[in-house]
Amino acid sequence: MSEVARDALTATAEALGLRHISLVSGAGHDAQSLAEVCPAGMVFVPSAEGASHSRREFTRWDDCVSGADVLLQAALRMAIRVAT
């Protein structure tokens, strides 16, 4: 993924006081296609017991809100960088 996006996501998580780690992921999702036209990255939020893509998958609402906040604030951070 884009270094610009990764840096914006990291800075945003830190500014919001959220714990974070960088992950290497085989998941591409839409970011893989968008990477050709703009800086792209992904935000992962924790799932209970680490279950992902299964019927057991569950993410606490607070974690969903935090993930959405990181995504929004990082996008704004990147837009400001491009505009200046």
Locate all alpha helices (DSSP H) within 1-60, ordered by sequence. 3-15, 29-34
Mean pLDDT of 46-60: 92
- CB-based contact 5:40 (threshold 8 Å): yes
Residue 20, Cα to own-chain centre: how many angstroms? Answer: 10
User: Which of 3.40.50.880, 1.10.10.10, 2.160.10.10, 1.10.150.900 is the CATH number of 3-83?
Assistant: 1.10.150.900
Domain ranges, ordered by start, for the chain: 3-83
* pLDDT per residue as tens digits for the range 6-15: 999 999 999 9
Mean pLDDT of all residues belonging to the chain: 91
56/19 Cα distance (integer angstroms): 24
Query: Residue 53's pLDDT is what?
Result: 86
